[in-house]
Chains A and B, each alone.
Chain A
Amino acid sequence: MDQPTLRVESLETGYGEVQILWGINLEVPMGNLTSILGANGAGKTTLLRAITGILPVWKGKITFQEEDITRLSPHERAIKGLIMIPEGRMIFPEMTVLENLEMGAFNKKARANLKKNMEHALALFPRLEERLSQKAGTLSGGEQQMLAIARGLMAEPQVLIFDEPSLGLAPKLVIEVFEIIQKLKEEGITMLLVEQNVHLSLAITDYAYVLAEGKVVMEGKGEDLEESEEVKRAYLGV
């Protein structure tokens, strides 16, 4: 297996007094698409918030490119290339589409290649190009999700993290989002994907972890998990 670029060891955290994650171990190898599956409330978003630093870690260790980043603030992790497209998109509604994309390129390294990356992002999402000067808050839900992904790409991610990118989208757009992820995989971008859409995720993922009640209850290669009846019944509610 390839060298892991992101590694989570025995991670525990929660909100206030309430512990949500109970010793998570996880690895994201370079160039791979790794998925985290699990029912609503399993702790997927909480795990991603801990990985990106928005939520402080109680116990355990997060290593990124062989550096301990457990105590770094979110922006320091982002500058190192750990980029998340958050749940609910979190675009900047009062900024134009163009400004949102520019904000993606905020870190100095990405800023230097802004033009080139903008062309790349707009080639992936031609619909955004027609709306560059429109306020992002006036975009449709699907367009906002595309913008959130494009903004993430502008940051030149070393690891790109998705939190339920297909949530709330019409079926046609769900397929479109997965096609984009497939395309990015072919470009060699390392990704960590959280999804509730089990079939589509397992079809394109290299390796997956199944989360339930704040613990990893199963893990394996995408195709192996897809065949496992146990996964479907017990943890994914399919």
Chain B
Amino acid sequence: MLSAWLGATLSGILLGLLYGLAAIGLNLIWGVMNVINLSHGAFIAVGMFASYFMANYLHLSPFLGVFLVLATGVVLGMITYFISLHRIISAPELSTLLATYSVSLIIIGLGTFIFTTNPRAIDITMGSVSVGGTVLPMTRILTGAFSVIFTLWLYYFLYKTWSGKAIRAVSMNRDAAELMGVNTTMSLALAFGIGVALAMTAGALTATIFPFTILSGGGYELKSFVICVLGGLGSPLGALLGGLILGLI
């Protein structure tokens, strides 16, 4: 009885960590630039497909490919920032909502056209660990561990590097950061890039556990919003904790 409870709890924690990672990207963009990124879910789905194609065509393990997804995501996110957000970043919030919603529609529209909405799954077998009668697949354990690693990495980046500190400064006072020599446009672009990259990373990891379609991001986007509210804005660790709460209930 107790051991079954322990297994279920562990499973919930691992899933919660992944939810937390998915939420961190949304949290970062919201906290730094006051933009509610409605393309968050679409980018999660893009990450799922990226992981899938790398596994199937490049025979790259999703747990290695995820680093490639992260790097690609930063670039993709920064390009998206300059195309869709840069000119309206100081406009009222409705403008940025509409802009990110359009990005979402474009991604999902193109994705549906190219990939259809048939479910796909990554064919991956990595064994499992049994905890008190509950079988925990290795993939689930790894996704949890990777979620923690990426969260700690973001923490390190924001608090220990010049670019990260610049992003935090911009989130507190953009004019003051600019007056100190920070190229705040690049900081905003980078923040959006990292937010998108983390969404894609979460998607890439999720795809090793669950089947998915181009529409799957929506559910995770909704969870991410809930987590942002639970965990508090502007703190990566808060988001991870929020994810844990959601994973356990």
Chain A interfacial positions (CB closer than 8 Å to B): 52, 54, 73-75, 78-79, 83-84, 86, 90-95, 99, 102-104, 106-107, 111, 151, 155
* C-alpha spacing A73/B162, complex, angstroms: 20
Decide: A106 and B182 in contact? CB cutoff 8 A.
yes
Residues of B within 8 A of A111 (CB): 162
CB distance from B8 to the nearest CB of A (A): 38
CB distance from A156 to the nearest CB of B (A): 10
Question: What would be 5 A-B contacts, judged by CB atoms less than 8 Å apart?
Answer: A52-B179, A73-B178, A75-B184, A86-B179, A95-B169
Decide: B180 and A103 in contact? CB cutoff 8 A.
yes
With both beta carbons as reference points, the residue of chain A lying nearest to B170 in the complex is identified as A92
Interface bracket on B = 10 to 19
* C-alpha spacing A151/B173, complex, angstroms: 14
Within 8 A of A (CB), among B156-188: 162, 165-166, 168-169, 172-173, 175-184
Instruction: Give the 10 A-B residue pairs with the shortest CB-CB distance, closest first.
Output: A90-B176, A107-B181, A78-B181, A74-B178, A92-B172, A79-B181, A106-B181, A106-B180, A75-B178, A75-B183
Decide: B176 and A86 in contact? CB cutoff 8 A.
yes
Per a CB cutoff under 8 Å, which of A83, A84, A103 touches B177? Answer: A103
* C-alpha spacing A41/B169, complex, angstroms: 29
* C-alpha spacing A155/B179, complex, angstroms: 10
Count: A-B pairs, CB below 8 Å? 66
Decide: A106 and B175 in contact? CB cutoff 8 A.
no
Is the contact region of chain B dominated by helix, strand, or loop, or is it mixed? helix
* C-alpha spacing A212/B178, complex, angstroms: 28
With both beta carbons as reference points, the residue of chain A lying nearest to B185 in the complex is identified as A73
* C-alpha spacing A94/B165, complex, angstroms: 11
Decide: A155 and B181 in contact? CB cutoff 8 A.
yes
Per a CB cutoff under 8 Å, which of B169, B183, B184 touches A103? Answer: B169
CB distance from A82 to the nearest CB of B (A): 9
Decide: B180 and A151 in contact? CB cutoff 8 A.
yes
* C-alpha spacing A107/B182, complex, angstroms: 8
